Structures are given as structure tokens and as C-alpha cells.
Amino acid sequence: MAAGTLTGKVALVSGAGRGIGRAVAERLAREGALIVINDMDEEPAEQAAQAVRDAGSEALTCVGSVTSADFAERFVSTAIDGFGGLDIVVNNAGYTWDAVIQKMTDEQWNAVLEVHLHAPFRILRAALPHFKAAAKAEGEAGRPVHRKVVNISSLAGLGGNAGQSNYATAKAGIVGLTKTLAKEWGRYRVNVNAVAFGMISTRLTADHGRPEAWIDVEGRQVRVGIPSNVIDGAAGLIPLGRAGTPAEAAGSVYLLCTPDADYVTGEVLSCGGGLAL
């Protein structure tokens, strides 16, 4: 078993089969956390789970769409039944489906809000009874414990982004949810924070003209990524001069999961190399 700052903690990480989510799962695992991996597809979920085991920790998988009606309860139950508790929730799952507003369909709008905002709400609602029960028991025993929620937002949610009214609205909503739950859940010693990512090198920020930019989302073919000319110009806008890596993105999430962040709640940490939209 890996030993570190999160030894024995149980973490849910949605969208952990690839990209930032997988990097977060591996980072928390290296610090000793037990990870419940979620992805829509079984193969990447199992690959990520094996990476967690290779890092010296333990992993379970909960395959399926975070937007499914029964997902939130199933996700939380996987942690409780499999590992005996729940300490960390990272709401990371999502994708982009871009268009300027006059070309955006109701389907595009609703799908992106569903995955980026409605699903985290349901997951956190399902987690609360366990947080409350644990806080009560630990308080009575005189050994208070802090638990962590890290919601993933975006610089688009803080400043808007052309062509992403659905995504920017969802990510702004996550900020509101984060700040509200920080106020509601402080009594249970749950720290609720968010990380707003800028340009991180994943399939969501790769050239949308490549063949693999088309992904299947519950039977819908969605083109993800951004135009190549935007990618080419992005480095000049980022003070650090480059896009971030998934490992660097994961580091910012990890910071908010550590005991050093026990008195930090209701905050939004920007992780964008200095970029401000």
C-alpha cells in the first residue's frame, strides 16, 4: 500500500479513464488514497484502475455515464461498500460540444449542462448522508476529520469563452454550487473547493480537425477539441508560454485534498499558467 498524505482516504474520481481525471486518480493514489474510477467505457476505466494499482494503491471501477439517473447512488455505494467510507469527491467528468449561440441546439445546451453541472449536484447530494454520519461519529469520538470536495470548473466559467455558452454557463454554475456547499457543509468539516483549468493538453484541447476528435457520447457523435489556429495562438496568451499537462492539472486538485487545505473552503483555484480570459 502506498503511504503518503492521503493514506487510507477513499476518493471518487469521475471521468478518470483518460486525461486529467486519470492523472488525478494516479496522483491521489501515489499519496495512498483508495480510488473509485469512473469512465463511460470499461476499457479505459480498467486501464486507469490498473495504473492506480501499479502506483501501489487499490482501485475499484464504476463504469457508466454520470448523467444516468441511478449513477450518483451507485458511484457513492461503490466507495462505501467496497472501501468502507468516503473522504474525497472529485467531480471531473465532462466534454465540450461547442457552437456559437445562434447555431447551438437545445440538445447541445442541455447535454453539456447535464454532465458538467447536474451530475456533480446529484453525486454530492448522494454523498452527503455519509459525510454527515461520519462527522457525527467522529465528533462524538473526539477525533474530527476533514473531507474534501474538488469540483472542476474552467477559466471559461470565470470569464466566458466565445463558442462555449453551454460549457461556460455550466462551469460558472459549478462555482456557485461550490461556494454554496462550502457554506452548507462547513458544519460537517467538508472542504468544498473548485479548480478552474485553462489550456490543459487533453483531447478536449487538441485540434478538432483530426479524425479522432469525434467521440461517442451515449450514441451521439460529438466533435471535441478546438480549431488549430486557436491552439497555435494560445501559447502567446499564456504567461508561462505553453499549455499545462494533465499531471500539472492533477497537482492543483491534489493540493486541495491535502490536510494543509483543511482551512480552505469555498475557493476557486485557477490553474492556467497565468492565463486570464
Q: Which residues pair with 223 in a beta bridge?
A: 214
167 catalytic residue (yes or no): yes
Which is nearest to 200 in space by CA: 225, 219, 221? 225
**Amino acid at the residue 258:** T
Roughly how many angstroms between the first and final C-alpha of the chain, as a whole number? 42
The span from the CA of 221 to the CA of 177, in Å, is: 29
The span from the CA of 183 to the CA of 222, in Å, is: 36
Which is nearest to 259 in space by CA: 4, 34, 13? 4
- DSSP for residue 172: H
Active-site hit among 95, 167, 188, 254:
167
| 200 contact partners, CB below 8 Å, separation of at least 6 | 19, 20, 243, 244, 245, 246, 248, 249, 271
Residues annotated as catalytic are 167
